[in-house]
Structure 1
Amino acid sequence: MRDLIVFGEDFGGLPSSTQHIITRLNPQRRILWVNSIGLRRPRLSASDMKRAYSKLFSKNTNKGSMATKVDSIPSNMEVISLKTLPAPKFAWERKLAKSWMASQLAPTLERLEFNNPILWTSLPTAADLCGHINESSVVYYCGDDFGALAGVDHKTVIQHENKLTDKANLILTASEAMQQRFPACKTQLLRHGVDYERFSTPVPRADDLPTGKPIAGFYGSLSNWLDYDLINQTAKAMPDWNFVFIGQNELGYNPFVELDNIHLLGPRPHHQLPSYCQHWDVSLLPFILNEQIKACSPLKLMEYVACGTPVITTRFPALKPFEDQVNVVNDSRQLIDCLSCYQSLTPCQSRSVENESWQQRSQFVDWLLELL
């Protein structure tokens, strides 16, 4: 069973689909996880400068200071951070970034005695490393449409993705829309899974959920893919409902009107989310149908379904397998009508995703990797 070098997000934060899949692979497969090498250049902001400082001056392995915050690293995995130029654009920058990363990887790969490993990247910006770290095969896991993803240097990242598409032996995509962008001969659909046991097993109610009114809730980043006008209009019209939002505000400003029934709780660890979504009355997916949402398959959709509470959502392509379980609205009037009769809404059938676990997705990936 070949070893795996994985380029993904920073390990230990809110888990992406990459982290869900990789941590459940066969424990006999040794894994070197490389924390995020970036999808855009840093900006002159406090958050970007803090992150850049952390990347430049932290110790580079999970034996160092960064990993003391992470208690979920599997025994077959080592986590490292590389110093690099995020999202290099020009040829000289790309050459420098490639050489810098390869030189940092070399001693770790030698120490771990990785021979002919598989290179798995969920970030197009690892493309220039292909063929330079003695990998035997390249897997590109495309979980997002990087040409539309917020917070990304789109033109630069697409240039990297085009190279990665040529170099990859296997391309995995999270949605059919993304699958159509790549060569059919080496592209495989890998739909998202769900941590069914975590989200379907009853847990106590979170202490900071508001009381006294029904709750419509959402968790996830507050970014430009949410329909804030829809929420603001609905919250104004329904003061007898609480609207709860859990997640990092990535906008830099508060997109909601100041109302007593809109509650921004901030981010919460992934394992705590069931204590919220199991206890609100309706789960919301109030997306704007932009290019990113057209291609995406949000993890929270299947997690909401596993919880079993009714889901009210705007329409987007990834809803198709769940159309008979969710309640689709097109505007604030329809959302208000749904909330007004929420006790008679179509509930989600939790057991419908029981056989869609991340463990099953990982077993399929293990099989694919052995074919390379």
Structure 2
Amino acid sequence: MCKIMYNSYDFVVFLDADWNILGKRNRQHFLIPEIARLIEDKGSVLAIERPVCLVTGLLRQGSKFFRWLKRKKVLRQEAENLFVYTPFIFLHNVLAASVPLLPKLNRLLMKWQIKRLLHKLVFRQESLIVWIHHPYQLEDVGLVNERILVYDIFDDYLCRANGKQSKDLKEREAKVLNRADIVFVVSEKLLKVLDGRAKQAHIIANGVDTSLFVKAADAETEIPAQIAKLPHPIIGFVGKVAAWLDFKILAKLAVSHPKWSLVFIGMCEEDNKLSDLPEYRLFRQSPNVHLLGPKIHTSLPGYIKGFDVCIIPYRLEGQVPSSSPLKLYEYLATGKPIVSVDIPHVAHFKPLVRVARNADEFEKEVVNALKESDNNLRLQRLAVAQQNSWERRAKRVLEIIEATLVGKQS
């Protein structure tokens, strides 16, 4: 595919999670590099990690704080035109809000650091685009006098907040929406939540690196020993094992089918509240449940190659109904059978994805998925994955940004 040439502009992206943390990757870690690749001859991207806090860093940020203290890898070049920077502030903005003048001092410190970098990297002020993802990044708006402000919503932030925090988030988001030139959301439900409050809003769902995940169907891709030694069928999940999973479903699968291997690739959250749930204890105690921990992203196709069925077993509450699961597209790109709970965005992909409304249905659909023999379904999944690649997402993003820039110039 030919590289599309876009007008000249540069990006400053404020990240949700640091760049190279094992098991902590979201859409920014995939979409932003793809944008950088597409504008390689026309612009650059500066990704700003979460700041090191001078006051609490030693206690709360550990190795990151010491790396920063030694000035190691503060500015890294990840690609020809993609740079990652670790800034510092006095105190986290949420805590700083209770200390007079500290938020302003934090802002001045951030502004000084980023402006200095933009000058060093020869970023162009007249076509500078700032990209944020959360209402708490309101303090980053206007730091560099950006030409375009992009607000990328990939989670329902308000659903997890209550009381004073909820009020604060709503006020911050109202201000962000008032300033944002473009708002991206990952799902139809999040678009409805906006309720016309954005100047322009577009659905940019999550996507997939198809060239990576199709390797799960490649005969030369090796299945790692950790999973190769397990008995089949293997029912697999890629993602964090945390409170948002439906452990009633998972316990039912483990107990009702002791010959199945339930495999989980990702971090496991240690939560005392979870330990109080009988279904969680049953899940953890089942001998056919295998928690293999987080893996390097590029190794995932090998693990998924070992799966017989891929699952998305979330609890249908909180931010889940508004989500566009990354793993949906990654699973599709492997061609493997998929069973999911009834997330509205996922339901659009039936019958390529089997959708269940409760634990009994989920178990039934896994059984049906294990019997799947229709090669056309596999080929259709691969084709749909190609239509939902990160490259396509990035091209659409750049088209919208370019049109907005042209509109501002006219």
Sequence identity, in percent? 26
Aligned to 2:26: 16
1:32 shift after superposition:
0.9
Q: Over aligned residues, Cα RMSD in angstroms?
A: 2.7
Which of the numbers 130, 149, 169 marks the counterpart of 1:138? 149
Q: Do the aligned partners of residues 181 and 86 (structure 1) sit closer, same or farther apart at CA in structure 2, a change above 3 Å counting?
A: farther
Aligned to 1:206: 224
Task: Give the Cα–Cα distance (whole angstroms) in 2 for the partners of residues 290 and 101 of structure 1.
Answer: 36
Q: Answer yes or no: is the 8 Å Cα contact 1:56–1:83 preserved in 2.
A: no
1:54 shift after superposition:
4.0
Q: Do the aligned partners of residues 139 and 246 (structure 1) sit closer, same or farther apart at CA in structure 2, a change above 3 Å counting?
A: same
SS at match of 1:24: helix
Q: Answer yes or no: is the 8 Å Cα contact 1:172–1:187 preserved in 2.
A: yes
1:245 shift after superposition:
0.8
Q: Do the aligned partners of residues 237 and 50 (structure 1) sit closer, same or farther apart at CA in structure 2, a change above 3 Å counting?
A: farther
Aligned to 1:369: 401
Q: Answer yes or no: is the 8 Å Cα contact 1:37–1:125 preserved in 2.
A: no
Q: Do the aligned partners of residues 195 and 264 (structure 1) sit closer, same or farther apart at CA in structure 2, a change above 3 Å counting?
A: same
Task: Give the Cα–Cα distance (whole angstroms) in 1 for the partners of residues 58 and 245 of structure 2.
Answer: 27
Q: Do the aligned partners of residues 154 and 65 (structure 1) sit closer, same or farther apart at CA in structure 2, a change above 3 Å counting?
A: farther
- Decide which structure has greater helix share: 2
| Equivalent AA in structure 1 for residue 10 of structure 2 | D
Task: Give the Cα–Cα distance (whole angstroms) in 1 for the partners of residues 286 and 265 of structure 2.
Answer: 16
Unaligned segments of structure 1, at least 5 residues: none
Q: Do the aligned partners of residues 67 and 307 (structure 1) sit closer, same or farther apart at CA in structure 2, a change above 3 Å counting?
A: farther
Which of the numbers 119, 144, 149 marks the counterpart of 1:110? 119
The alignment covers a number of residue pairs equal to 359
| Equivalent AA in structure 2 for residue 225 of structure 1 | W
TM-score normalised by structure 1 residue count = 0.87
1:316 shift after superposition:
1.0
Aligned to 2:183: 171
| Equivalent AA in structure 1 for residue 119 of structure 2 | E
Task: Give the Cα–Cα distance (whole angstroms) in 2 for the partners of residues 168 and 234 of structure 1.
Answer: 45
Q: Answer yes or no: is the 8 Å Cα contact 1:305–1:353 preserved in 2.
A: yes
Aligned to 1:267: 294
Aligned to 2:106: 97
1:219 shift after superposition:
0.8
Aligned to 1:78: 83
TM-score normalised by structure 2 residue count = 0.79
Task: Give the Cα–Cα distance (whole angstroms) in 2 for the partners of residues 137 and 339 of structure 1.
Answer: 46
| Equivalent AA in structure 1 for residue 382 of structure 2 | S
Task: Give the Cα–Cα distance (whole angstroms) in 2 for the partners of residues 51 and 132 of structure 1.
Answer: 26
Q: Answer yes or no: is the 8 Å Cα contact 1:7–1:34 preserved in 2.
A: yes
| The 10-residue stretch of structure 1 (216-225 or 90-99) with the greater mean CA deviation from structure 2 | 90-99
Task: Give the Cα–Cα distance (whole angstroms) in 2 for the partners of residues 60 and 158 of structure 1.
Answer: 35
Which of the numbers 110, 117, 130 marks the counterpart of 1:119? 130
Q: Do the aligned partners of residues 154 and 50 (structure 1) sit closer, same or farther apart at CA in structure 2, a change above 3 Å counting?
A: farther
Q: Answer yes or no: is the 8 Å Cα contact 1:6–1:119 preserved in 2.
A: yes
Task: Give the Cα–Cα distance (whole angstroms) in 1 for the partners of residues 92 and 384 of structure 2.
Answer: 41
Q: Answer yes or no: is the 8 Å Cα contact 2:58–2:65 preserved in 1.
A: no
1:157 shift after superposition:
4.2
SS at match of 2:131: strand
Aligned to 1:7: 14
Deviations 1:262-309 (A, max 9, x none): 001111111111111122111111111113001110110011111111
1:169 shift after superposition:
0.9
Q: Do the aligned partners of residues 370 and 341 (structure 1) sit closer, same or farther apart at CA in structure 2, a change above 3 Å counting?
A: closer
1:297 paired with 2:324, answer: yes
Task: Give the Cα–Cα distance (whole angstroms) in 1 for the partners of residues 74 and 337 of structure 2.
Answer: 39
